[in-house]
Structure 1
């Protein structure tokens, strides 16, 4: 027993390892938002049309779709930590390559590579954390990835604003991408300090190594044996259900729910607004530097309301958060659309203020509703035997819709900003109806009872 960790040390070690893995989420958020401050320069430097600019933004999202699909199997073969190392290298190369790009095609390649890393991180980082965390801490620690995504978005906005203030003229956009190399390299170095996933080690019959890792993660011998037995049982169940058909009538309800919530997530316009926030503020009459500063405020609001949602999601339930978020979406998107229609690109100070406040409300509604609920909800509605494939379907739907909407948004917005936001508002009205009449509540219900509620045997 003398090799057992002191409880306080064990807790600190688990939190530390989870924080390192969650840096994949921070880079996910940073990479997602950093391009927002570079759009005007990219359009000028590479002489892009609105459609080409939309594709330039969307290419990273195409990478996320591919990354979410391709990095799952290597993580089973080579291990979660190994794949996290690969992702850190991809982030680093993408950051430096995007900053040093010698033409549009090279820039697209490096942004696609960054997208691969984002897609992989969205799968592997939370999976690794879930596999090293004790059951009693698992929910909060996995949620650390979502928190870091939002933090990464804020840091990207702050970085873009800081670089714009220093004003390095034509090289501003290059520095904005280059900054990401710093957390990428830090992520790579810190991964040497974290252990391999004990679940993966047991799956590879490396039980002694798994025991050593668990001795650092668990408080006593009883907990170690309990975790090892639980992992072995889980692996055995998974092995015997590997050929379980997925697209079966029995699973029609959870499949529909996963596709619906993931689609509505992007039909709100969230990624388009995060990517194009400075451009939207400029369309509403703000100067370039002011627009970047307002984007920083967007990141702060996102972070605050994400933390609030994490505190109450298990108290007031998933549907309540979605209802509140849907109403917030409707009010904010309708106000933005009306402002663009009314002012018709000739914004007064009042009009610009309406857009600013409405976008803050929109971000708060998203962070408190969809942003907090989507991945929790998808993980709860599928039975154990198909949960991984269900989450992959939700992730694929999310990223596919994100790529599509981010590609077409600048084209529509250039013709009529009001029309783009009016479309998002209509979609959120449909989401509100979906939440009221279709979405089930899963708070506090055992997974087996959720399956019965969804008519799954």
Structure 2
């Protein structure tokens, strides 16, 4: 078996996961820059960050059928082109519409890569290596997130519009991915199932695993083609016999995103600035968030087949509820002091002058601050105060905030993050799996968009205390859902899982 060759082509394909993670997280460092340059409201900022998920939904819907028709490799090459266009265009955009369009194009690449890269790897990998090789994609996603945080930190001090460099640097790995994909063979399973090119598929399989492996695999694929089940329909997916499976799938897809993980990844520096941190400190803390995500993803990969899916979900959702409650407590105990030192930090002279009457006052909630400040400022000044100046007045246990966020990310990385996708690949019958994962993936992206769209508005209008309290309640509900509905699939064949869930 040519293990090094198999690992090499799997790693190249998994670079799509790296670009996915990088593209998702790099926007976190550019938020202040793009908000200022394009003069965005909270709603416009939320849309410019979250619109990438609209593209991802389009990618989810189209990538599967296109890869069936034209092949996995060609679709992956298209995603590399989309990532490149998005990086260059978003970095050079001069209008809000152009920037949003570029982000959506990158989202289409994300939607395609997240579905097709693991499918390709699973189709070329020998059974003994399949689990570890498919996990390369998830691992590359979190590596991409971590690298994006590092990149943002080192580029933030570039003179001028540093946000353009943050977004544009993605061009380098995207172009590399494009050319590297030409070294990858087409999927042998696709060649047999769609084109009946058995000889060509056998040559690829020989290079992967030798003559005997190639012969046995070709025979297995041909047997599968001969007895292929009737293709499932949307009616089959929503049939009564699928009720338990659908509840588990939609529940996991909902709670994976509604508990706020993308709000943390997309807005990490903003959150830490809300906790009173400097720009340098907030970017460094975002790096720690990325590294925590990486480390605990490795832990999850190691434990998911040993400890099981449901125990990881119980541990993770419990810790998520606790950590989000800690963040809520930290912001709830914050004090907002208006004194000579804090007022002098305000950059806008008119706002600074208008707030002088508050010198010597202290407030115990962000809502109280906003209610007091709003009558003193114009609408535009008040918006600027909420977005840029409130952080100057807060006195908070920032260490508790950092610990809470890191615990939350670690808990997500060992539970809802990887376990949801693993279970989705296990619980659906084979004849409806393609339709099912597309539907649930689309729903998952829609919930993700909702979270990222509303998060800036929540911070500005509800304040961080209520925002994190909402996420804490949702995390607690996710624990109850896991306890009541999720079944353990560890150690069971796909047929056993199907029989268990359909029967129940």
Two-structure CA RMSD over aligned residues (Å): 1.4
Mapped to 1, the partners of 2:196 and 2:29 lie a distance apart of: 48
Q: Deviations over 1:32-88 (max 9, x none)?
A: 000000111111100000011001111101111111111111111111101111110
Alignment match of 1:172 (pick from 133, 153, 162): 162
2:63 match = 71
In structure 1, the residue matched to 2:409 is 363
Provide the C-alpha distance between the structure 2 equivalents of 1:432 and 1:156, rounded to a whole number of angstroms. 31
Which residue among 109, 116, 124 is the counterpart of 2:116? 124
Matched, 1:286 2:277: yes
| Residues 279 and 291 in structure 1, CA contact (< 8 A), matched pair in contact too | yes
The answer (yes or no) to whether the contact 1:264–1:431 under 8 Å persists in 2 is: yes
SS at match of 1:455: helix
Deviation at 1:238? Answer: 4.1
Q: What's the secondary structure of 1:245's corresponding residue?
A: helix
Aligned to 2:184: 194
- Any residues of structure 2 matched to 1:46-57 within 5 Å, and which? 46-57=38-49
Matches within 5 A, 1:84-123: 84-123=76-115
How many Å separate the matches in 2 of 1:245 and 1:228? 30
Aligned residues: 445
Instruction: Indicate the larger mover: 323-332 or 239-248.
Output: 239-248
SS in 1 for 2:172: helix
Residues 321 and 368 in structure 1, CA contact (< 8 A), matched pair in contact too: yes
Equivalent residue for 2:141?
A: 149
What's the secondary structure of 2:160's corresponding residue? Answer: helix
Q: Please, what TM-score do these two structures have when normalized by structure 1?
A: 0.95
- What residue number does 1:382 align with? 428
Name the residue aligned to 1:183: 173
Measured in 2, the distance between the counterparts of 1:218 and 1:292 equals 45
TM-score normalised by length of structure 2: 0.86
Asked if 1:430 corresponds to 2:477, the answer is: yes
Q: Which consecutive residues of structure 1, in runs of 5 or more, have no partner in the other structure?
A: 1-6
Q: Deviations over 1:180-212 (max 9, x none)?
A: 001001101111111000011112111111111
Structure 2 CA distance for aligned equivalents of residues 309 and 360 of structure 1: 16
Question: Alignment partner of 1:168: what SS?
Answer: coil
| In structure 1, C-alpha distance between the alignment counterparts of 2:305 and 2:266, rounded to whole Å | 30
Alignment of 1:24-423 (within 5 A): 24-164=16-156, 167-203=157-193, 204-219=195-210, 221-238=211-228, 240-243=230-233, 245-343=236-334, 344=365, 346-348=393-395, 351-415=397-461, 416-423=463-470
1:342-392 residue CA offsets vs partner (Å, 9 max, x unmatched): 2145543x5111111110000100001111211101111111111222222
Please list every run of 5 or more consecutive structure 2 residues that lacks an aligned counterpart in the other structure: 335-364, 367-392
1:236 positional shift: 4.0
Number of the residue aligned with 1:3: none
Structure 1 pair 171/235, CA: closer, same or farther in 2 (3 Å)?
farther
Structure with bigger gyration radius: 2
How far 1:233 moved relative to its partner? Answer: 2.9
Distance 2:164 2:177 in 1: 21
Task: Measure how far apart 1:241 and its partner are.
Answer: 2.9
Structure 1 partner of 2:353: none
Aligned match of 1:4: none
**Conservation of the 8 A alpha-carbon contact between 2:52 and 2:103:** yes
More deviation in 45-54 or 237-246?
Answer: 237-246
Task: Compare 142-151 and 209-218 and name the one that shifted more.
Answer: 209-218
Give, in whole Å, the separation in 2 of the partners of 1:129 and 1:66: 22
Q: Distance in 2 between matches of 1:426 and 1:170?
A: 42
| Segment of structure 1 superposing worse, 283-292 or 390-399 | 390-399
User: Compared with structure 1, are the counterparts of its residues 235 and 28 closer, same or farther at alpha carbon in structure 2 (3 Å cutoff)?
Assistant: farther
Q: Distance in 1 between matches of 2:496 and 2:65?
A: 31
What whole-Å deviation, never above 9, does each CA across 1:139-181 have from its counterpart, x for those lacking one? Answer: 11111100000000000000000101xx223320000011100
Q: Displacement, 1:434? A: 1.2
